[in-house]
């Protein structure tokens, strides 16, 4: 299984990605985790990424793409993966398409989590309070959601046209949403 998971910030992509990847026995490749690891280690890339995230901006395509593609070369990805947070732009989709064609593989499904923006802001403010995330305040959260809709929402249409999209209501309890995702994937894959 080679899958993507998409959705606005706070929709639960990371939580659902882990559950879905475990269900299908594939690794989760999270661009956010790759970024946080570099920030934690204080690498030059990590410092640059930290500045961008604090401002509510996305990391440039070239940096994100090189980090994600280097991770896809690990042996645990030979039989599949679930990408969380990548691709986010048309240029990233194009780069991913080229790499997959060169490797003779294709994406099986694209999970798209759907959620109301006001509910996402509430959810993320609560998370910020619990986890002490300095980059999550109401203004930055709204900016990140707006950037998502401006730069990423067009990808939903592209994957819908390709017949890969599995749209799932992301509001509700974690297990309930996971069950919706698995049901949607099973329907899409004809299982």
- pLDDT tens, position by position, 32-49: 888 888 889 898 878 888
Asked if the model's pLDDT at residue 26 lies above 70, the reply is: yes
Please report the pLDDT score of residue 135 as a whole number: 66
Where do the domains of the chain lie, and which CATH numbers do they carry? 2-186 (3.40.50.300)
Catalytically annotated residues: 13, 88, 127, 133, 144
Residue found under tokens 């959705």: 7
Q: How far is CA 79 from CA 89, 105, 116, 121, 139, in A?
A: 25, 10, 34, 36, 41
Question: What are residue 113's DSSP bridge partners?
Answer: 168
**Alpha helices, DSSP H only, in 55-189?**
61-72, 90-103, 117-131, 138-151, 153-161, 174-189
Residue found under tokens 């297990």: 175
Give the other-Cβ count within 10 Å of 191's Cβ.
7
Give the global pTM: 0.83
């Amino acid at each position: 299984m080679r899958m993507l998971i998409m959705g606005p910030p706070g929709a639960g992509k990371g939580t659902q990605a882990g559950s879905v990847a475990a269900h299908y026995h594939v690794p989760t490749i999270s661009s956010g985790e790759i970024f946080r690891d570099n920030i934690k280690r204080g690498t030059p890339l990590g410092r640059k990424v930290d500045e961008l995230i604090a401002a509510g901006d996305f990391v440039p395509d070239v940096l994100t793409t090189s980090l994600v593609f280097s991770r896809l070369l690990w042996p645990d990805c030979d039989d599949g993966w679930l990408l969380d947070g990548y691709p986010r732009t048309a240029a990233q989709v194009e780069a991913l398409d080229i790499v997959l064609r060169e490797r003779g593989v294709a994406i099986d499904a694209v999970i798209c989590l759907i959620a109301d923006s006001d509910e996402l802001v509430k959810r993320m403010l609560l998370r910020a309070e619990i986890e002490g995330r300095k980059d999550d305040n109401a203004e930055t959260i709204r900016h990140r959601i707006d950037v998502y809709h401006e730069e990423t929402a067009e990808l939903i249409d592209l994957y819908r046209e390709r017949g890969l999209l599995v749209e799932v209501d992301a509001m509700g309890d974690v297990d309930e949403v996971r069950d919706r995702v698995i049901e949607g994937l099973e329907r899409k894959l004809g299982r």
